[in-house]
């Protein structure tokens, strides 16, 4: 006995079979409707999740762009500061080099000047020594004439006093000396014998 025979033997016959099929179709339809609703709900959830992911991606991209711009600004500022610092160091190095060169030139000029002055001092010392030899010889001659008691002794003293006074006055007018040599402590220390001779020649002579 198959299903149709069983259904035929049931109360109501074909009418019962129609009811069963109608219920079956309704259940299948409801199942499809339910499945469709579930699929739509899942799709909606997936779409919502996708939109959220896209929104987060867009926000993250904006943040990355903003961060990149901030980093670019920071890099430019750092580069500008570094460039300024390097420029300052280069300028200072240049100034220091120029100052060092100027100091070297000044030092060379001072050394050259010192060398010239040293040579002049040495030459003046030799000239002083040569003059001193001449003055000592002249002084010795005059001392010999005065010690001999010659008749011209008084005339020699007077002539020396006259010429010596004239030379001192002329030297003072030219600014060569501030005072007569015998009045100078430095002259007295450097040439004591000559100073003594000058004072002796200038002293007042007794009348004969």
Are residues 99 and 131 located together in one domain of the fold? Answer: no
Are residues 4 and 80 located together in one domain of the fold? Answer: yes
| pLDDT score of 6 more than 50 | no
End-to-end CA distance of the chain: 202
- Tallying the residues shown for the chain, one arrives at 208
State pTM to two decimals: 0.42
How far apart (Å, rounded) are the C-alpha atoms in residues 90 and 204?
Answer: 79
Which of 119, 139, 169 terminates a domain? The answer is 119
| pLDDT score of 3 more than 50 | no
Does the residue 207 lie in any domain?
A: no
pLDDT on residue 41:
77
Are residues 112 and 136 located together in one domain of the fold? Answer: no
Are residues 178 and 139 located together in one domain of the fold? Answer: yes
| pLDDT classification of 203: cutoffs 50, 70, 90 | confident
Q: For the chain, what percent of residues have pLDDT higher than 70?
A: 81
Are residues 106 and 24 located together in one domain of the fold? Answer: yes
The H or E element containing residue 28 is helix 14-147
pLDDT on residue 32:
64
| Domain with 69 in it | 1-119
Are residues 90 and 5 located together in one domain of the fold? Answer: yes
139-163 average pLDDT score: 77
Tell me the CA distances in angstroms from 189 to 139, 140, 202, 203, one per residue in order: 18, 20, 19, 21
Are residues 6 and 107 located together in one domain of the fold? Answer: yes
| pLDDT score of 9 more than 80 | no
How far apart (Å, rounded) are the C-alpha atoms in residues 176 and 86?
Answer: 60
- Judged by DSSP in three states, 149 sits in coil
Provide the number of structural domains found in the chain. Answer: 2
């Amino acid at each position: 006995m198959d299903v149709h025979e069983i259904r035929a033997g049931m109360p109501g016959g074909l009418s019962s079979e129609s009811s069963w099929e109608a219920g079956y179709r309704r259940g299948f339809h409801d199942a499809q409707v339910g499945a469709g609703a579930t699929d739509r709900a899942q799709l909606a959830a997936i779409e919502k999740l996708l939109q959220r992911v896209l929104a987060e991606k867009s926000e993250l991209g904006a943040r990355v762009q903003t961060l990149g711009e901030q980093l670019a600004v920071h890099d430019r500022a750092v580069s500008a500061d570094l460039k300024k610092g390097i420029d300052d160091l280069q300028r200072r190095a240049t100034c220091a080099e120029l100052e060092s060169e100027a100091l070297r030139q000044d030092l060379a000029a001072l050394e050259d000047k010192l060398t010239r002055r040293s040579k002049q001092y040495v030459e003046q010392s030799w000239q002083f020594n040569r003059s001193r030899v001449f003055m000592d010889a002249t002084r010795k001659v005059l001392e010999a004439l005065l010690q001999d008691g010659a008749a011209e002794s008084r005339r020699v003293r007077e002539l020396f006093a006259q010429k010596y006074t004239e030379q001192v006055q002329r030297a003072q007018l030219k600014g060569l000396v501030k005072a007569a040599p015998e009045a100078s402590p430095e002259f007295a220390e450097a040439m004591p014998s000559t100073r003594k001779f000058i004072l002796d020649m200038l002293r007042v002579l007794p009348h004969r």
